[in-house]
Structure 1
């Protein structure tokens, strides 16, 4: 009888520990890979939007099958169209300043964004991109689909290792 009571108590404790452990893991948030600064009213501090890979994957995605001047052969990139991202968060801006981990920065006029270009790619050939492989985020165009995307201006806007964005009004 004592053994049965002991085993029942032990089972209850084990089930409780498993439940607590699963709850803790479910509540954990993935690391932030993109921070967007959005200006507030006239002199207000910017509002920060922080996004994890999971957050980006929750938004509508698009896939390009294209070649690039930085990779060998055709590649498959999946990501969120930049226009979809800024519309999702209600970001109003004239320009977007995008910065990479190494502080490389570009300015992208919002008026030049389209529904399908550029994308903020988070996946290359079906796998998340690592920092050493130009990830985790890379701004890309479907270079093979449109000759307008094969210019020095567009190539210079194809920023890899993107980690910061600022809306400029």
Structure 2
């Protein structure tokens, strides 16, 4: 009869049930248990991954707003060491405030936003000198917008547009050579608020 469950078949000592059938039933039960245990693994791993590491050095960047990964209250705060864990990127481009082509080292804004689980339409960037501007999130998907930490091999300092500077790949895209984008080059970047 087919009405018995796999457990009943395995534990039933009916002489008509051959050993290979019992072994097959046991293998199916083990596989079902393994599937149910492993199906829980991603959610528990994700839960452990919801919190960022705590900064050990001076905080150079604060992120607020619609982010899912935080390390201080409802914020994500970063020191320099934490930012170096993001994938490194190099960009060579000219700017409207420097002479010639410059080499910028840093990380992509989209990688930073992904690291905190940012969801939204706009990022409000605030600089050390209280400059504030809204930047569409689409910019960071459409272009390789860099958060620069170095220019021409030298660490950016607050006295020279640092420690962080939002840099667009203006030489790679004609549309970026427009004053609307020039306003989005935030130097002395201090805070990002995702909306």
Check whether TM > 0.5. yes
1:17-62: CA deviations, max 9, x gaps?
A: xxxxxxxxxxx82211000012479xxxx71100111111110121
Asked if the contact 2:66/2:118 (under 8 Å) is kept, the reply is: no
Are residues 120 and 161 of structure 1, via their aligned partners in 2, closer, same or farther at CA, if it must alter by over 3 Å?
A: same
Asked if the contact 2:122/2:136 (under 8 Å) is kept, the reply is: yes
Alignment partner, residue 131 of structure 1: 158
1:69-117: CA deviations, max 9, x gaps?
A: 1011221001111111111211111110000001101101112322752
TM-score, with length taken from structure 2: 0.66
Unaligned runs of 5+ in 2: 1-54
TM-score, with length taken from structure 1: 0.75
Asked if the contact 1:83/1:115 (under 8 Å) is kept, the reply is: no
CA RMSD, Structure 1 to Structure 2 (Å)? 1.9
Deviation at 1:144, TM superposition (A): 1.2
Deviates more, 1:60-69 or 1:96-105: 60-69
Higher strand proportion: 1
Higher relative contact order (CA 8 A, sep 6+): 1
1 CA distance for matches of 2:155 and 2:57?
A: 14
Deviation at 1:143, TM superposition (A): 1.4
2 CA distance for matches of 1:154 and 1:135?
A: 19
Which of 114, 123, 130 is the aligned partner of 1:96? 123
Asked if the contact 1:61/1:78 (under 8 Å) is kept, the reply is: yes
Alignment partner, residue 62 of structure 2: 35
Which of 64, 68, 83 is the aligned partner of 1:56? 83
Question: Matches of residues 77-156 of structure 1 in structure 2 within 5 Å?
Answer: 77-114=104-141, 116-156=143-183
Q: Hey, which bits of structure 1, 4+ residues long, moved more than 4 A? A: none
Asked if the contact 1:61/1:80 (under 8 Å) is kept, the reply is: yes
SS of equivalent residue, structure 1 residue 47: coil
Question: Larger Rg: 1 or 2?
Answer: 2
